[in-house]
Structure 1
Amino acid sequence: MKTIVICSGGLDSVSLAHRVAAERELIGLISFDYGQRHSKELGFAASCARRLGVPHQIVDIRDIGRSLSGSALTDDVAVPDGHYAEETMRVTVVPNRNAIMLAIAFGVAVSRGADAVATAVHGGDHFIYPDCRPGFIDAFQAMQNHALDGYASVRLSAPYVNVPKSAIVADGTKHGTPFEETWSCYKGGEHHCGRCGTCVERREAFHLAGITDPTVYEDPDFWRGAVERAGERAAG
């Protein structure tokens, strides 16, 4: 099955790229520059493509991104520290981001003769990001079936949609993902900050998977307290 992977350069999508390369015919990676706070992760996506020996395309949708205002990932809004279960994390939502990227990726897939587009949305995203939930994935596939009816058939592959990030760490390990060659942090410093939602989630995932985390964090111990506080709020 000829597959294009949407790759941000993060742990999830790079792990997915390695999985697809091992199990299917990976024909390319596609990334998006939507005016995110930093573009550091795109360099890691490019490195992944070189490592796997496939083309890498960066689609410039910064003009669209400028219209999706109000997010800490696109505007001059402080990135909150803490666990994704915190209500403050809603400021990291970029409205319709996945719907926009997937629509473009499906068009590219058809033009390249691909059979599938793979995305690394996962179960840990469900609380905060509505366009990462199973219902969205199913609805998007149904919409594309209508959009391409009689012209092409492209499958939306989301193998992680019902599993936690720790399962992705385990899967990435199985397929030889070099986790040190991935970038998650929203703040884009020299090292991962260790405090933002995606850093906390990343650190917790390695812990739950029982796999050594090679990531260098500015604050390597913050995640424990953040996870505890999130658990207390959920329980009370």
Structure 2
Amino acid sequence: MTKKALCIMSGGMDSTLVAYIMRSRGYEIVALHFNYGQRTADKELESFRSICNDLEVREKYEIDLDFFKTIGASALTDHSIDVPTGGIEAGVPITYVPFRNGIFLSIATAIAEKEGCSAIAIGVVEEDSSGYPDCRESFIEAFTKAANLGTKDSTKVTIEMPLVRLQKSQIVQEALALGAPLHLTWSCYQSEERACGVCDSCRLRLRGFERAGAVDPIEYV
């Protein structure tokens, strides 16, 4: 029987690599994408679909979550808050979306149970992330326990986070080694045409490519 992994995929570099890692481990990929009112929702969805085509995914889910815009409190979903472009700062940034990964994982658990997936995979990165509390390894481990307590006894799911301890440069190197289509990925927080190059996500991505001695294949302003 084929083992299946539900991969939460934003269209970005990290979650794309996770999907290719899970495929390399022999899993059939079930892909999950969220449209949650983020500034670059259309571009991220386009990237997700292109990556799914490259992976030859047979089953994918696109979930709309409009309540994040109602909550606000994040520069990603509230257009009255500017996306920071002055450089990466310590602490939790204004681009943090309240408990986003917790909500994503809750929905992912329901789909994984329905699809018979033995694993959920998420591209959280702790060491080289932007300081998001819901990217911490301890949080994912705690959520795994809750997911298994809240599902059928026959449902046994692990939450895989293969990048959690990697630096962005290592992620670039691993993606290149696995042949992940980085040219299809999108990381920019604020632009859908050419990446801005100055938001936190662009800075992390560009620094990762530089330290890996590689050239980023996407176009920047």
Q: Match for residue 7 of structure 1?
A: 9
Which of the residues 53, 74, 79 maps onto 2:77?
Answer: 74
| Secondary structure of the corresponding residue to residue 161 of structure 1 | coil
* 2:75/2:82 contact within 8 Å kept: yes
Of 208, 214, 218, 1:215 maps to: 218
In 1, Cα distance between equivalents of 2:161 and 2:35 = 21
Do the aligned residues in 1 keep the contact of 2:125 with 2:163 (CA within 8 Å)?
A: yes
Task: State which of 165, 171, 174 in structure 1 corresponds to 2:174.
Answer: 171
2:40 counterpart residue number: 38
Distance 1:74 1:11 in 2: 20
Alignment root-mean-square deviation, CA = 1.6
1:194 paired residue number: 197
Instruction: Give 2:40's aligned amino acid.
Output: H
Aligned to 1:57: 61
TM-score between the two structures when normalised by the length of structure 1: 0.86
Secondary structure at 1:28 match in 2: strand
Runs of 4+ that moved beyond 2 A = 82-87, 123-127
Shift of 1:126: 5.0
Tell whether the 8 Å contact from 1:82 to 1:200 is kept in structure 2 after alignment.
Answer: no
CA distance in 1, matches of 2:212, 2:89: 19
Distance in 2, matches of 1:5 and 1:83, equals 30
**Per-residue deviation, residues 22-48 of structure 1 (Å, max 9, x unmatched):** 222233110001111121111101111
In 1: Cα distance, 2:130 partner to 2:82 partner: 20
Aligned residues: 216
Deviation string, structure 1 residues 150-191 (Cα, Å, up to 9, x no partner): 141111000111111111111111110121110000112311
The structure 2 residue matched to 1:110, chosen from 109, 113, 135, is 113
1:82 to 1:201, Cα distance in 2 relative to 1, 3 A: farther
- Residue 78 of structure 1 aligns with an amino acid whose one-letter code is D
Residue 85 of structure 1 is aligned with which of 61, 72, 89?
A: 89
Task: Give the Cα separation in 1 of the matches to 2:162 and 2:40.
Answer: 27
Q: Distance in 2 between matches of 1:124 and 1:81?
A: 21
Q: 1:126 to 1:38 in 2, by over 3 A?
A: closer
What SS class does the counterpart of residue 93 from structure 2 fall into? helix
* 1:139 aligned partner: 142
* Deviation, structure 1 residue 11: 0.7
Equivalent position SS for 1:123: coil
Is contact 1:84–1:128 with CA below 8 Å preserved after alignment? no
Higher helix share: 1
Distance 2:159 2:171 in 1: 18
Task: Return the offset for 1:86.
Answer: 4.7
Give, in angstroms, the shift of residue 67 of structure 1.
Answer: 3.2
**Alignment partner, residue 19 of structure 1:** 21
CA distance in 2, matches of 1:44, 1:126: 21
Unaligned 5+ runs, structure 2 = none
The percent identity for this pair of structures is 37
CA shift for structure 1 position 207 = 1.1
